[in-house]
Amino acid sequence: MGGARGAPVPQRTAVGQTPDAPDPRDDQRRPSASRPAAQRRWRSSSAPLSIGLTAPVLVLVALVSVVPIVYATRLSLFETQFMNIGEFIGLDNFRQALGTSAARADILRTLVYVSVSLVVAVPLGLALALMLNLPFRFRAAFRAVIFLPWVVSQTVAALLWKWLLNPDYGPLPLGSFDPFADSVMAMGALILANVWISYPLAAMLFLAALQTVPGELLEAAEVDGAGKLRRLVSVILPTIKSTVLIVTIMLTLFFFNMVTLVYTLTAGGPHSATQTLSLQAFRESFQFFHLGLGAAYSIVLFGFNILFGAAYVRVLRSEK
């Protein structure tokens, strides 16, 4: 009896298996040693296909983006007259585009034009999007009216505002006051026309973002006693924050590179009061035919685009 108590207890096994027989299911659980090799062979065989599919896109991007930037950079280092490239002058064009008092005034006016337009267009687009997101009669017609300026070209918009603000035959009762003869009022008229053609884009993107805000969050905030302003600040704006930053990036680049509206509405006047970097780059290149200096202005403008775009992207990533 004592020996029976000390004997080892045999292990239970599945029917038809001996205790030492391996479980056939282990082969299925255990990864096959040939799988990594097969995956490597598949990747190596699909690499030429991937390169063949992406190569045309990369070549197209290089032709329309990289090559013009490289050519403009090279052109900015030479003295030019019409289409003739003269001697190498180094950074002299950049010194003229950045170092003179007129150039610094152009940069300052550009920053004022862009920043004030953003401060007005972004909140206006958000307010209109909030209104269009509410149910009311004739909402579709109202949306069409609000988005109408976006389909108008910059030339037509400039001529329209030139007619509206004309003291002689315009419909507004301006008397003898000409807004385009005053430096401050001319910049204000330019910003007004710029906001008028750009706020529909902001409103359209904000409206699309507002429709993705979960209704449960708004209902929960309302149950907790949050008012409309509190729901806007605590629920809606944090939810669409990425859209707000993306719209700001798009409008910033759009305003920095705008030429047609400025040239048609004010032509940089009066007395260069509305002269921007983009307009100066256009004039030096295609009016005075100083392609080297115009390329230098374009490179400076490109640098501002990269600077502000990178700053916005960094803020967007930090928020995520």
pLDDT in tens, 18-54: 455 555 555 555 555 456 665 666 566 667 777 888 8
Phi-psi region of 289 (alpha: psi -120 to 50; beta: other; left: phi over 0): left
- Domain extents in the chain: 92-319
Q: Give me the pLDDT at residue 316, please.
A: 76
Q: Which superfamily is assigned to 92-319 in CATH?
A: MetI-like (1.10.3720.10)
pLDDT of residue 173: 86
Q: Taking the chain, what is the end-to-end CA distance rounded to the nearest angstrom?
A: 73
Which pLDDT belongs to residue 44?
Answer: 61
Give me the amino acid identity at 155: T
Cα 56 to Cα 60: distance, rounded to the nearest angstrom: 6
pLDDT attached to residue 92: 93
pLDDT at 233: 87
Q: Take residue 258 and report the two structure tokens written for it.
A: 């705008």
Give DSSP secondary structure letters for 61-97.
HIIIIIHHHHHHHHHTTEEEETTEEEEE-TTHHHHHH
The dihedral region occupied by 138, where left means phi > 0, alpha psi between -120 and 50, and beta the remainder, is: left
Q: Which residues of the chain have pLDDT under 70?
A: 1-46, 319-320
Contacts of 44 (CB under 8 A, 6+ apart): none
Integer angstrom CA distances of residue 308 from 110, 147, 295, 311, 314: 13, 27, 20, 5, 10
Per-residue model confidence (pLDDT) at position 153 = 93
Q: pLDDT at position 37, please? A: 61
Distance CA 201, CA 207 (A): 10
C-alpha distances in angstroms, 290 versus 67, 70, 94, 260, 282? Answer: 20, 18, 13, 20, 10
Q: List residues bridging with 80 in a β-sheet.
A: 85
* CB-facing half-sphere around the CA of 231: CA atoms within 13 A: 18
| pLDDT value, residue 84 | 85
